Structures are given as C-alpha cells and as structure tokens.
C-alpha cells in the first residue's frame, strides 16, 4: 500500500498532533506531525489550518526526510 498522498486532516480524528520544536512562539509558520495508529504512517499538516490537507507518509519515507534535515 502506498501512503504518500494528501488526506483531509479532519479524517484523522483522534491522533495526537505534535508541533515542530523549531516553530516559533508567535504562531508563525508551524508544522505538526502525528503518527497514525499502527505506527507505520506519519501525517503532516499546517497548524494554522488544522482541518485542511495533511500529507501522509510511510514511516521510512518520513524518517529519511528527517535525516536530511540534520
């Protein structure tokens, strides 16, 4: 199954969203991520638009992306 797609974040009710530690305290450009049930998929959304689109990634793809940020 391929997970790299866009979902409506409202479809992802009941997940725990975590804000990026690099987000500023003034409500600026913030990214939130949530590991979906089962732990195989991570969703990413814009905190200013929580009901908007969420990008959904396989955990391996997300981990590779985070490694590239360091």
The count of structural domains within the chain is 1
For residue 1, pLDDT over 50 is answered with no
For residue 67, what is the DSSP state?
H
Using a cut of 0.95, tell me whether the model's pTM lies above it.
no
pLDDT digits (tens, 9 = 90+) for 6-23: 778 888 878 899 987 766
Print the domain residue range for 54. 5-69
Pick the more confident residue, 26 or 17.
17
3-state secondary structure of 19: strand
On average, the pLDDT of the chain sits at: 82
Contact 23/47 with Cβ under 8 angstroms?
yes
Q: How confident is the model at residue 60 (pLDDT cuts 50, 70, 90)?
A: very high
CA 32 to chain centre: 5
């Amino acid at each position: 199954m391929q997970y790299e797609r866009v979902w409506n974040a409202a479809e992802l009710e009941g997940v725990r969203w975590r804000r990026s530690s690099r987000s500023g305290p003034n409500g600026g450009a913030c990214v939130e991520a949530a590991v979906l049930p089962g732990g195989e998929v991570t969703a990413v959304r814009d905190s200013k638009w929580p009901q908007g689109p969420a990008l959904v990634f396989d955990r391996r793809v997300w981990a590779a992306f985070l490694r590239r940020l360091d």
